[in-house]
Structure 1
């Protein structure tokens, strides 16, 4: 069975050249006025050099079927995020928007969008009151996405208020004297660590084989403990590599270009720049009356990639 275009294997791992043309194709297919047919977009992909995983030309129905696959957005068949999947070709919202657009073009009823790809979850933002990492959610089905502390419950902030001010601070920081060079050094450190981790992960089979060779010479409990430690190390290494891969792919050659890049960058890439620049975003409790969202954040800027 051929692999899913855009991914190196079933568990994720982007093939960046394929992901790039799939994202562009999804953007064109999401335009309702004037709409483009699936075959027109597939022909454009073929003309620009995009190929299927087996090296063939794209057809409209095959391209749409590929982009509609839940794994394009890191989801399982039930629409739930796949744990540890890593970077995705499309965000859940991008894929849902594509499906809604094609339904509208066909004259079918469009369901309300429910999913949202949060910029500052996964440990980036926390509650300034108790230090608990913020999670994303909605107060009720009709509410917009928001961040909240599920521990003390004292912090809640709408995503459309929190995310733009953090993005503005990150982009402004990049333009300050000396910051561009600092981020380049951090990114290079991350790249070197990612290369070491990739080699470490690749060598996992030999480590397991070596451990198995000594199995008969070890106390059973000691062997189980060593096997568990080896598995835990592999899992931690893979998680760390996924983190590093997000920040090594951010284009930093010219800091002035990053501002324009941000506006069209995939969510995972935007998150990569935030993770490269920011160690933690602390969200403060709201005061009385209309509060400037900038007064509700405190940022710890990153000095290393650890």
Structure 2
């Protein structure tokens, strides 16, 4: 019997990311097709993709649209595990050949009945497995232990032991976020240095954000989407850092920030006429090149001389013996300690409510009301801690033996953070040509008397 066939392969979970599982399926299907004299027209693969999660399977959808003469799969459950998907296959009116489970003739009622029975049992098996896994996960959660699943970045496969090299990268990225660096810039830095995710893939802003926000890294146990208490494994990030990260990365205004700023003082300076923000732009007219200007074009000035002047001004001031006084206003140590104590107490009371409910001391209504009040207070405290967290870039410069040298060594986005912490800068209109750079700048030191 001659003709063509399409091959479909799928693996639900590819822990190593090497696609060896689906490659073995495809090899077996090719051999099966050759033995039957069929020419393989297409090979379609959904790797690391569940057939029961409800998510779209790209290769499966392509298979349905490709009008195959027949299909070859390693096992029927690689193709379908849910009845709605089977019905879509039945509508094609083609036969399905499974290397390990025989032939399903979907052209007649008997064959379709067999296919529906096989799929029903596959669905049952999946549901039973899910119930067993959920019960096991509940037991693990009660003891603060991790699930046996894909390795998390920063931890070994046992989920309990910290992998020091990756933990250091998480701390570095966390410091970057607190210093005002964008997730995009931090992801690029990781990729350029050859640092990969736990699955061996390149970093994206979404994966880095998820890693930094993971309660696991703060030594907290999450179960069914809720943090339920301390974990049995050690924390990579201290509580203050984790809380500050959450405040920053969940701030809705971050989604409106736009692309990374290329200019040192973009967003730091304001227009001396309209008080609007001053941004950097490349202006071709008049050969101006890189410039600063307000959005209403009240002021326009070449960027390089201003950058050089402001960096020099800050560097000279930081070289003075009393430079540390500039950062005194940013010291919220006592206030942070009080907030952290209150936050710890609120979380303890929340745990106590759950224990009281479990013991029958309070009813569900009291549990819900008390939990709502405490969660609201915890959210407020977390935001306050995040707002007072010391910017690592400012701390690094303030504590350096040579503050001016430390400033020069920082990436531009962190230099911007330091300048913004120290100075208020207005770009002023100048009515004459040939004026010095400083004449067009109105600069005040923040916190100065």
What TM-score, normalized to structure 2? 0.36
Higher strand share: 2
State the structure with bigger RCO (CA 8 A, min sep 6), 1 or 2: 1
Look at both structures and tell me which one has the larger radius of gyration over its CA atoms. Answer: 2
